[in-house]
Amino acid sequence: MTQNPPLVFDPATPRQQVQRQLSDLLATAGSQAAMTEARMLLCAALHIDHADLLREGERPIGAHAERLADLIARRLKHEPVSRILGRREFWGLDFSVSPAVLDPRPDTETLVEAVLAAIGSRRDERLRVLDLGTGSGALLCALLANFPGGFGLGVDVSEAACKIAAKNLAALGFAQRGQVVCGDWAEALRGSFDIIVSNPPYIAHAEIATLDPNVRDYDPHLALDGGDDGYAAYRALASVLPGLLAQDGVAVLELGIGQGPCVGKLLQAAGLVVMTTRRDLAGIERAIVAKMRPQDECRPSLSPFFGER
């Protein structure tokens, strides 16, 4: 989006008219969702909901003109609407987001779909769920919503992210069935899990500077940076998954564009079997699904909460 001169809105202008002006302004600045963004920012500035805006569209924006100008100016500097509002919807659930967490993306819902396709028939069992690199807790909460008997653990190396994830678990009513642990991948974990998901950082370090400013300047680099080749986190995950995944469990990892074959090889080399991959709505291979190689093996003793049954 381009830089604009300071914005001024006349407090006497009707809400609907301002909404149209904002939509045009955002579209001209390059927004792909200008109408929706205009509505969301206007509602936030006026402290009203969509229904109020429809019902009382002729009312002047009044004393909120200055706040509106501030929100729009932030958007024109590439700050995503979810960051401005501090909220993001994922899998139909409302999440709090902060600068410490990745803004959860619709693409990541592909992982939830992949889990449901692989193990959804067991949704009434007391399954143990692990989300490695939980960020806002979006995947963990979406899975707990779909597996009502499940217990979940979210892990993140960022303490600030862990606080947001714990806040979201509580706000969405999952505090009794979910925990958040701060740590480096599986370092602090013992146990066996039926469902393991991860959306790891997978952008090659040098590519980060070339990303869209909406991402580069607002998502935490800890959530993006996959090391020199983009595969550092996948290597770390491949090395710990065999020790964590139940024999009949399923592991689902998010993929960056074109990473499927290489991630598949890493998982196979670690002793897992790749079952399938799943595409997102744009047709991009977005999730890889793996299981343990069938074998009889002795597993270590486990914590009481996530213990072997």
Residues that bind ligand SAM in the complex, under the rule CB under 6 A: 101-102, 104, 108, 133-136, 138-139, 155-158, 161, 184-185, 199-201, 222-223
The residue among 119 and 139 lying less far from ligand SAM, judged by its C-beta, is: 139
User: Among residues 61 and 241, whose Cβ is nearest to ligand SAM?
Assistant: 241
**Long-range CB contacts (within 8 A, 24+) of 56-63:** 56/15, 57/14, 57/15, 57/16, 57/19, 58/14, 58/15, 58/16, 59/14, 59/15, 60/11, 60/12, 60/13, 60/14, 60/15, 61/9, 61/11, 61/13, 61/14, 61/15, 61/18, 62/11, 63/11
Identify the H or E element spanning 116: helix 109-119
Q: Shortest gap between Cβ of 248 and ligand SAM (angstroms)?
A: 24
What is the smallest separation between the CB atom of 62 and ligand SAM, expressed in angstroms?
Answer: 37
Min dist. Cβ of residue 133 to ligand SAM (A): 3
Task: Count Cβ atoms below 10 Å from residue 3 Cβ, excluding itself.
Answer: 8
Q: Do residues 108 and 254 touch, judged by C-beta distance below 8 A? A: yes
Strands annotated E in the chain: 87-90, 93-96, 128-132, 151-156, 178-182, 193-198, 245-254, 272-279, 285-292
Is 79 within 8 Å of 255 (Cβ atoms)? no
How far apart are CB 118 and ligand SAM at their closest, in Å? 18
Smallest separation (angstroms) from ligand SAM to the CB of 208: 12
**60 phi/psi in degrees, rounded to 5:** -70, 155
In the complex with ligand SAM, the residue whose CB is nearer, 45 or 254, is: 254
To ligand SAM, the closest distance from the beta carbon of 213 in angstroms equals 18
CB of 201 to ligand SAM, least distance (A): 5
118/142 with CB nearer ligand SAM = 142
> CA separation (Å) from 120 to 124, 168, 249, 273, 308?
9, 23, 12, 19, 20
Nearest Cα to Cα of residue 68 among 129, 18, 103: 18
Closer CB to ligand SAM, residue 157 or residue 175? Answer: 157
**Cα-Cα-Cα-Cα dihedral of 26, 31, 32, 38, to 10°?**
-40
Tell me the closest approach of the beta carbon of residue 250 to ligand SAM, in angstroms: 17
Judged by beta carbon, residue 42 or residue 139, the one nearer ligand SAM is 139
Shorter beta-carbon distance to ligand SAM: residue 194 or 219: 219
68 vs 165 by CB, closer to ligand SAM: 165
